[in-house]
Amino acid sequence: MQSLSFRFLFAFVAVIVITTLLTGVPAYLEIRAELDRQAWAHVSDGGRVTLALLATEKRQLANLAILVAQRPTLYGLVQRRDIDVLNEYLRTFQATVDLDILVVSDKSGQVLAKGTDFPHFVGAPFSQEAVFQRLAGENPELALLVSKPILVNSDQEFYITVGIILDDKYASKLAGETGFEHGFLLDEQRVSTSLKGAPSIVALDAVRQVTASGSMDTAPLDIQNSHYYVALVPLLGADDEVVGLAEVIQPIENLLAANQTALFTLIFSASLVTLAASGLASYLARRLTTPLKDLTASAIKISQGDLNSRVFVPNGPSEITALAMAFEKSREATLLAHEDLSQAKLWSETLIQSVVEGIVTIDAQGRVTSFNQGAEQITGWKSADVLGMSVNRVFALSEGNDDLMQHISLPGGVQRINVKTCKGSEVILAVTSAPLRSPEGEADQTALVLRDISEEEAARRLRSYFLANISHEFRTPLTALNASVELLLGDIEKFSLAEIAELLNSIHLSVTGLQTLIDNLLESTSIEAGHFRIRRHPTDLSDVFTDALQVMKPLLERRRQHLSLLIPTRMPVVDADPTRLTQVLINLLSNASKYSPMESTVELRLEKMNSEILRVSVSDQGPGIPLPERSKLYQPFTRLEEPEGAQYGIGLGLSVVKTIVEAHRGEVGMEERAGGGSTFWFTIPLQEAM
Burial class, 21, CB count within 10 angstroms (exposed 0-12 / middle 13-18 / buried 19+): middle
pLDDT given for residue 690 in this prediction: 36
Given a contact cutoff of 8 angstroms between Cβ atoms, the answer to whether 685 and 664 are in contact is yes
CATH architecture of the domain covering 453-690: 2-Layer Sandwich (3.30)
**668-688 confidence digits (pLDDT tens):** 998 988 888 899 999 999 864
11-20, 70-79, 491-500, 624-633 — which is least confidently predicted?
491-500
Given a contact cutoff of 8 angstroms between Cβ atoms, the answer to whether 160 and 173 are in contact is no
**Between residues 649 and 122, which one has the greater pLDDT?**
122
CATH architecture of the domain covering 294-348: Orthogonal Bundle (1.10)
Domain 70-165 matches domain 453-690 at the CATH topology level: no
**274-297 confidence digits (pLDDT tens):** 777 677 767 666 666 666 676 777
What CATH number does domain 70-165 carry, 3.30.450.20, 3.30.1490.20, 3.30.70.20, 2.40.37.10? 3.30.450.20
> Residue 37 — pLDDT band, cuts 50, 70, 90?
confident
> Residue 501 — pLDDT band, cuts 50, 70, 90?
low
pLDDT given for residue 606 in this prediction: 92
Given a contact cutoff of 8 angstroms between Cβ atoms, the answer to whether 162 and 145 are in contact is yes
Tell me the C-alpha distance between 579 and 550, whole Å: 14
As a whole number, mean pLDDT of residues 228-248 equals 86
C-alpha distance from residue 388 to each of 11, 299, 446 (Å): 40, 31, 14
Rounded to 5°, the CA angle 558-559-562 comes to 105
As a whole number, mean pLDDT of residues 69-87 equals 82
With a cut of 60, say whether residue 474 has pLDDT above it: no
Given a contact cutoff of 8 angstroms between Cβ atoms, the answer to whether 577 and 536 are in contact is yes
Tell me the C-alpha distance between 337 and 319, whole Å: 27
Mapping DSSP onto H, E and C, the string for 616-678 reads: EEEECCCCCCCHHHHHHCCCCCCCCCCHHHCCCCCCCHHHHHHHHHHHCCCCEEEEECCCCCE
As a whole number, mean pLDDT of residues 93-112 equals 82
Strand pairing category for 573-576 and 537-540: antiparallel
As a whole number, mean pLDDT of residues 624-653 equals 63
Tell me the C-alpha distance between 435 and 438, whole Å: 10
Element (H, E) at 358: strand 358-363
Q: What's the pTM?
A: 0.40
Domain ranges in the chain are 70-165, 294-348, 355-452, 453-690
Phi, psi of 527 (to 5 degrees): -65, -45
pLDDT given for residue 229 in this prediction: 85
How many CA atoms within 13 Å lie on the side-chain side of 282? 6
**Between residues 112 and 576, which one has the greater pLDDT?**
576
Q: How far apart are the first and last CA of the chain?
A: 58
14-23, 28-37, 344-353, 553-562 — which is least confidently predicted?
344-353
Highest mean pLDDT among 124-133, 226-235, 343-352, 519-528: 226-235
Does the domain at 355-452 match CATH 3.30.450.20? Answer given as yes
**182-215 confidence digits (pLDDT tens):** 888 888 888 888 887 766 677 788 888 888 888 8
Q: Which residues contact 360 (CB under 8 A, 6 or more apart)?
A: 368, 370, 371, 372, 375, 391, 394, 447, 448, 450
Q: Cα dihedral sign for 26, 27, 28, 29? A: positive
Cis geometry, peptide bond prior to residue 317 (ω within 30 degrees of 0): yes
Tell me the C-alpha distance between 166 and 172, whole Å: 10
Q: Which residues contact 133 (CB under 8 A, 6 or more apart)?
A: 126, 142, 143, 144, 145, 163, 237, 238, 243
With a cut of 80, say whether residue 180 has pLDDT above it: yes
